[in-house]
Amino acid sequence: MTAVPPLSSDDQPQHVAIIMDGNGRWARSRGRPRTFGHREGVEALRRTVEAAGALNLAYLTVFGFSTENWSRPKDEVHTLMDLLRLYVQRDLDRLVREGVRIRVIGERSGLSADILRIIETAESRTAQNTHLNLTIAFNYGAQNEIARAARRVAEDVARGALRPDEVNEASLGARLDTAGLPAPDLIVRTSGELRLSNFMLWQAAYAELVFLDILWPDFDRAALEAAIDEFRRRERRYGGASRHAGS
Ligand code: FPP
């Protein structure tokens, strides 16, 4: 591997998105239940948010619960819901103080009233923050997100607020849950799986993909920096002329 110079503001990704995978395997290898792995996953998330702030990343998005995760055993689904409660409630004051803006993307219907209240409180209490934009994908699936955006487009066309010839990448993109957020430059998946698993499919159009063998509960600042180093070695072309990832 060639040496990579230290991170500077002009050659690091603006938006890193992470598929936090491998909690179950991490727990199993220790003879513990999968839910134990998810709990440790929250600690890894805390470390990662802190590291992202320290590295001056502007946007960090994490995949916390997918629309497909409902098919997992009831107690595991329950734990994942509890962990969102725990993470947001325990960390919110600190995140407010540290300038982190929280957004939650995904399908809101189907979530319990108390989870919705926690999400709304976290979003409104951090709405003025600008240091790090933390987006949690929760009850999220990219196909579901695109279908909901398409439904909004159809509704706007039906009520005359949008003409059919105005339906394009920009008008559909503006109706996605990620409206107003830049597309991720870098998508990281842990645990060695080489899939996007219905995560940010629209937004991933030009993202660099980095797959790490590390299991999510072991993720830390060094792993984040390793993924960013890999990003900076890539050439990004955006379908046009050659351009280095960081430039
Ligand atoms: C994948 O591991 C991980 C998840 C389905 C959930 C990720 C959740 C956390 C890291 C906890 C923090 C979450 C929130 C919402 C704050 P897996 O169970 O699929 O692992 P495996 O592939 O090894 O079985």
**Residue numbers of the domain that contains 91:** 15-141+179-212
Residue 207 lies in a domain: yes
Give yes or no for a contact between 5 and 48, defined as CB atoms under 8 angstroms apart: no
- Establish whether 69 is a catalytic residue: yes
Residue 240 has a pLDDT of 79
pLDDT in tens, 191-235: 999 999 999 999 999 999 999 999 999 999 999 999 999 999 997
Options 10, 11, 21, 56, the catalytic residue: 21
Total domain count, the chain: 1
Confidence of residue 48 (pLDDT cuts 50, 70, 90): very high
pLDDT in tens, 159-185: 999 999 999 999 999 999 999 999 999
CATH number of the structural domain spanning residue 207 = 3.40.1180.10
Residue 243 has a pLDDT of 61
Residue 33 lies in a domain: yes
Number of H helices, E strands in the chain: 7, 6
Nearest of 141, 91, 81, 92 to residue 114 by alpha carbon: 81
Residue 63 lies in a domain: yes
pLDDT in tens, 14-40: 999 999 999 999 999 999 999 999 999
Options 11, 69, 198, 220, the catalytic residue: 69
Residue 152 lies in a domain: no
pTM of the full predicted structure? 0.93
Alpha carbon distance 110, 108 (integer Å): 6
Residue 247 lies in a domain: no
Residue 236 has a pLDDT of 72
Residue 167 lies in a domain: no
- Establish whether 144 is a catalytic residue: no
User: Which ligand 1 atom is nearest residue 86's CA?
Assistant: 16
Query: Cα(202) to centroid of ligand 1, in Å?
Result: 22
- State yes or no: pLDDT of 105 exceeds 70: yes
pLDDT in tens, 140-164: 999 999 999 999 999 999 999 999 9
Residue 36 lies in a domain: yes
25 lines ligand 1 (CB under 6 A): yes
- State yes or no: pLDDT of 245 exceeds 80: no
Residue 51 lies in a domain: yes
21 lines ligand 1 (CB under 6 A): yes
- State yes or no: pLDDT of 115 exceeds 90: yes
| Sequence-distant contacts of 116-120: CB under 8 A, at least 24 apart | 118/84, 118/85, 118/88, 118/89, 119/88
141 lines ligand 1 (CB under 6 A): no
